[in-house]
Amino acid sequence: MEFRNIAIIAHVDHGKTTLVDAMLKQAKALSRHDAEGERIMDSNDLERERGITILAKNTAVEWGGVKINIVDTPGHADFGGEVERALSMVDGVLLLVDAAEGPMPQTRFVLKKAIEAHLKPIVVINKVDKRDARPDEVLNETFDLMAELGASNEQLDFPYLYAVGREGAAWLGSQPKPDLSDLFETILKHIPAPHIEQGAFQLRVANLDYSAYLGKIAIGKVHRGTIRKGQTVLILGEHDNREAKVAAAFTHKGLERLEVDEVTPGDIVAIAGMEGVEIGDTLTAKEAPEALPRLAVDEPTVSITLTPNTSPFAGKEGKFVTSRQIRERLMKELETNVALRVIEVTPDTFELHGRGELHLSVLLETMRREGFEFSVGQPSVLLKEIDGQVQEPYEYLVVDVPEAKFGPVMESLGARKAQMVHMDQGDGRVRADFIIPARALFGFRTHFLSITGGEGIMSHNFHGYGPHVGGLETRTTGSAVAMEAGVAYAYSLYRLQERISFFIDPGTEVYVGMIVGENSRDNDLNVNVNINKKLTNIRAAGSDENIRLIPPRKFTLEEALEFLAPDELLEVTPKSLRLRKRVLDPAGRKRAEAV
């Protein structure tokens, strides 16, 4: 059988997963049960909740007697490790671009990776039914971006289609079609078949899975040769080699894995029973132990410190609370999360290095849902020394805001040492591109939504390392810190709410040193939220104040991380997110400040 191996790449929310769903349905690659619903490929709970793809996934369809292996990749630069692994298995890419938004920061990121891997692109201008769609302009912008990123003449000579992915329609030229037949035919015509060498079996591991029955499962493209169930292969690791017996071999069809007697060169397959295998290892026949080049993954740019929970509420809500349990979970994560680094600073302190706040917060949220309880500190960037100069990571930031709100956005970004590199105006909105230190964006999203009245759109991805810009003030408010343990009363919150934006409801149990709100000024404020109104025996009708509380601010895990100051921690449990001071005792904090 002939094969075509493609990855679908795009900026977040430009329609990758929806288009893959339509391809699976029209190629009749789904069972009746799987064909129901939307975003079929996003099977992970976090993916469904956030509406983003986090994990690269494999699927396959047949069209015209050719098997098309499709890898749906994440659009967020934070999950670049997933993108890089996916691109190592394919021979071409389908680049989706929103017909209104045009190329965005993550479009630039994933496209740069595809161009560096010398992959042939097919461009799909998606969502052309949008009211503000500008497909021809967007096509030109995509061509310009490819040229800027150093695409070869062959890559610049790309075929392009227009599409409405939600309706399962894509077409060549100006005449719309109601299906994806043009897209399938373009893939067969323009994406090259995998290059297959002659020789013994060889496969580079690009992804891992696990089965309680079959053990570790290695996923990758068969570079050459074949292998059967029951045969022994050699795993060529980074540091050592080992033998493993093939427990089962699978190929993909739709969302299913089909067991096969023998794998075929050029196909993307899953091989079970590969204990001890790691991403980047090569599986080979014993008689020809030749390793393929290991996958190169971009270095992490953000770090966060994780420790067991030490608050007065420690152990009340979590199932896994000890440093040993946390360590085992982090070591397990390292097996599949290639962009993550874990450094054991002390037996109780772990430093996590990742590709961005989102990359790390998804891991923390996953651990939380599994029953873990821990504390994390403020995220910080990883500095490098290049040519004797300290350098820090920079982000490429794009903002799209109403014209009337652009002034405050510019002022805020200027204070954060951002440099504008491009600006477009039209239809009452401004779109501007900036280069900005990565740490300047910590806590910026909430502020940005506030100053744009929720109408602004922002997106960013890693740009590169540049000169360290010195001190940055990313938070201009202080914390309101509980000075007494007990239960918060509505009366106390009401008395304080003119000065403090609260994070807690009446009836919330608090401890000394717990952060209960945000002070409107730049200093921290110790407050007592446990005072209730004294009642007397004599009541005059209407004499009591009518207590009206402003609803409290509730944080997501990312928002809570963004809020943290250097002397603060986020307590994460399966049920709660609590902000606290590192030093809980007010007198202890004063002594620490005096030193």
pLDDT for 147: 93
* pLDDT tens readout for residues 433-463: 999 998 888 878 878 888 888 888 888 878 8
Return the domain boundaries, the chain.
Answer: 2-190, 202-285, 384-467, 478-594
DSSP 133-198: --HHHHHHHHHHHHHHTT--HHHHS--EEEEEGGGTEEESSSS--SSSHHHHHHHHHHSPPPP-BS
CATH number, domain 2-190, options 3.30.365.10, 1.10.510.10, 3.40.50.2300, 3.40.50.300? 3.40.50.300
* pLDDT tens readout for residues 133-156: 899 999 999 999 999 999 999 999
Average pLDDT over residues 46-59: 48
Provide CB contacts within 8 A for 293, sequence distance 6+: none
Entry pTM: 0.75
Annotated binding-site residue numbers = 13-18, 126-129
Provide CB contacts within 8 A for 590, sequence distance 6+: none
Predicted confidence band at 520 (pLDDT cuts at 50, 70, 90)? confident
Q: For the chain, give the mean pLDDT.
A: 85
In 3D, which of 193, 233, 229, 204 has the Cα closest to residue 3? 193
CATH no. of 478-594: 2.40.50.250
Separation of alpha carbons 246 and 374, rounded Å: 39
Query: Are both 2-190 and 202-285 of the same fold?
Result: no
Provide CB contacts within 8 A for 534, sequence distance 6+: none
Count how many Cα atoms sit within 13 Å of the Cα of residue 497 in the half-sphere of its side chain. Answer: 19
Annotated binding-site residue numbers for GTP = 13-18, 126-129
pLDDT for 80: 46
Separation of alpha carbons 494 and 492, rounded Å: 5
CATH no. of 384-467: 3.30.70.240
Count how many Cα atoms sit within 13 Å of the Cα of residue 67 in the half-sphere of its side chain. Answer: 18
**What dihedral angle (degrees, nearest 10) is formed by the CA atoms of 490, 493, 497, 499?**
170
Fold exhibited by the domain 202-285:
Elongation Factor Tu (Ef-tu); domain 3 (2.40.30)
